[in-house]
């Protein structure tokens, strides 16, 4: 089911049915949103964390990494899976900071 009130968000994150990251993602991504993103597309990798961003272009992945680095002060880089699809890796050194940002929003 669709509610027309959400079309503004669909238009921000999709162009011709292709996922995109809006230029103002810095304003939208909050610790709560980051927690939901991790619960949906995150996975433990060693002592760090992978965030799956397979559907996005490398330019869009760069936008997301900038927000994680600049807004949340998280050390991260791009890793690629076996199919050469990008994912964001958050380093072990940033995990305490990440936990303090998102843990109160996690669903048990």
* Confidence (pTM): 0.89
Q: How many CB atoms lie within 10 A of CB 7?
A: 10
CB half-sphere exposure, 76, CA atoms < 13 A: 28
pLDDT in tens, 59-81: 999 999 999 999 999 999 999 98
Question: Which numeric CATH code is attached to 21-105?
Answer: 3.10.28.10
Q: Where are the domains of the chain?
A: 21-105
pLDDT in tens, 82-97: 999 999 999 999 999 9
Sheet containing 48-52, strands listed edge to edge, beginning at the edge strand earlier in sequence: 42-45, 48-52, 86-90, 76-80
């Amino acid at each position: 089911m669709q509610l027309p009130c959400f079309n503004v968000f669909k238009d921000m994150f999709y162009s011709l049915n292709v996922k995109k990251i809006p230029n103002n993602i810095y304003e939208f991504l909050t610790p709560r949103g980051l927690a939901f993103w991790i619960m949906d597309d995150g996975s433990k990798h060693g002592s760090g964390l992978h965030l799956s961003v397979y559907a996005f272009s490398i330019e869009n992945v760069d936008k997301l990494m900038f927000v994680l680095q600049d807004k949340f002060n998280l050390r991260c880089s791009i890793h690629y899976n076996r199919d050469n699809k990008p994912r964001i890796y958050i380093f072990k050194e940033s995990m305490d900071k990440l936990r303090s940002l998102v843990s109160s929003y996690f669903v048990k």
